[in-house]
Chain A
Amino acid sequence: MATAVVARPVARPQARARDEEVLVWPDLVFVEFIAALLFTITLFILSVVINAPLLDQANADVTPNPSKAPWYLLNLQELLLHMNAAMAGIIVPTVWLIILGAFPYFDRDTDGQGAWFGTEGAVRLTVVSGIVGFVGTWALILWDSGKVAFFLNDWFGLSGGDTMRFLENVRSMQSQLPWPEWASKITYLPFNLKLLDGTGSGGPTTFQHLDFPGWLVEQGIPTALLVGLPSLMIYTLWRMGWVVNRRDALLALFSGFVASYGVLTLCGTAFRGQGQELVFPWELKVSEGIPGQEAGH
């Protein structure tokens, strides 16, 4: 082989200085050992202090009241109280996960990557959108559980009378408005086609007919609020000049989400009593649902 090989000087990696290195033993393992000890002690104390009984063998005939999912799913269960089951359980989480995954494709600015609160108004944006998410979610929960109307009536003697009853909660827009007969049976397949509509006993939509009030209450209004309120917040912050680039918008959106998510989890865990009625945490009682022992009030 007559190929001339030109030897290039290879940049040899510099040996790291000794004081930049951390050894597995003792530096890392010792810290891990301390952490493991702390967790063990904490769990031990918690298991002594907090009672977590296994209860009786399950009885398929009775449902505990309230019936709750594990705490980390109670945010979704809280959503289920307010909208169509497929939306709350599947569509909203899926769409939100896709949106979360799309964040880096929407904000492609590499400036200030990896820095916490990297933009000028970042801290106040986080605080304000967090507060908006917190207060807004509580307000929506209180409204949809009828508590707003109840307190207006109970504390201030305010009552909208019969004409305003439809505003008590979302569902009352279906039951308290004089919807005409045809509104709950809007045919949207032409030629009287019948697809999977043997029983006519589906949800808000059977395949042939749309129950418009049902659709409005279970899907229309929740979708409008889920999309509209965050958009409105970001638009307002943009008009105020706080949101100036895409990262700001995403920061506001994400902070608002974290606050709402926390409120939903907290509300579902600590504020939902029997029949998923809103109660204070210290009033929360669980009945095993045994006949004759269901607690009334």
Chain B
Amino acid sequence: MAAEPTAPRGGRIERARQIESRKLARRSFLRVSAFAGLSLFVGSMTAGFLGFFNRLKPVGFGGVVTVAASRVPAPGAEPVRISEAKAWVVNLSGPEGDVLGVGGTGGIMALYWKCPHLGCSVPWNPGFNGAAVNFPGVVGWFRCPCHGSTYSRAGIRVFGPAPRPMDTMAITVNGDGSISVNTGAITSGGTDNPLRAVSYNG
């Protein structure tokens, strides 16, 4: 009585066991995939976060930005806006922009466009001559849209609440006439800004 129905019952038990093991397989599949998804999510977040600390080879702003020779302004021409470097490239002709007379002799310089006051991006205003009394004949100034700090072509602060002249970026002139602006090497602006200009014959 106990032996005869073993085979069919064993088949049912076996089937049930298989069904049961399939259920278990589904549950562990869900568990594994849930943890895999979670670790993928956390891992990608971590990788993205660690990416912020990559200061070895930054690209774009923070790294070295090359400005082609065709975009470099001629001496005395209007400053050129280099968006990818967040900078104005200025080509001073002679003592231009050296409004406080520290002995600038011209050359090319890159001015970080962030206002040293509260950080607005400073536009070039080619027609502005509002400093006519103190600096007669000088037309064209950088003038901050937020609080009116006014800077000469060489970034010298002459007016407004900014605590110092515009910050400068290190630049090197390449053989083909292009320039490399190192947007990671920003020096606080000072009255010696015009002396930081690099001579350029491109």
Contacts and interface: CB of A to CB of B under 8 A. Distances in A.
A110 interface: no
A203 B162 CA distance: 9
B161 A84 contact: yes
Interface string B117-150: 1101101111110111110000000011111101
Contacts of B157: 171, 175
Contacts of A150: 130, 132-133
Given A65-B123, A297-B128, A81 B148 contact: yes
Given A80-B161, A81-B161, A218-B161, A146 B131 contact: yes
A176 interface: yes
Given A218-B163, A297-B128, A277 B143 contact: yes
A187 interface: no
A141 to B, nearest CB: 11
A277 B144 CA distance: 10
A214 B117 CA distance: 13
Q: By CB atoms of chain B within 10 A, which of A169, A204, A276 has the most? A: A276
Given A85-B161, A171-B158, A296 B127 contact: yes
Interface stretch (A28-36, A37-45, A56-64, A247-255): A56-64
Interface residues of A, number: 45
A63 B120 contact: yes
Contacts of A77: 146-147
Interface string A12-52: 00000000000000000000000000000000000000000
Contacts of A214: 163
Contact of A276 (B83, B126, B148): B148
Given A175-B158, A203-B163, A63 B143 contact: no
Contact of A294 (B123, B146, B161): B123
Interface string B58-98: 00000000000000000000000101001000000000000
B67 to A, nearest CB: 15
Contacts of A83: 161
Contacts of B134: 146, 165, 168, 172, 175-176
B35 interface: no
Interface of A: 61-67, 77, 80-85, 88, 145-146, 149-150, 153, 159, 165, 168-169, 171-172, 175-176, 199, 201-204, 214, 218, 272, 274-277, 289, 291, 294, 296-297
Interface of B: 81, 83, 86, 100, 117-118, 120-121, 123-128, 130-134, 143-148, 150, 157-161, 163-164, 188
Given A171-B157, A276-B144, 6 more contacts: A63-B145, A77-B146, A81-B160, A199-B188, A202-B163, A277-B148
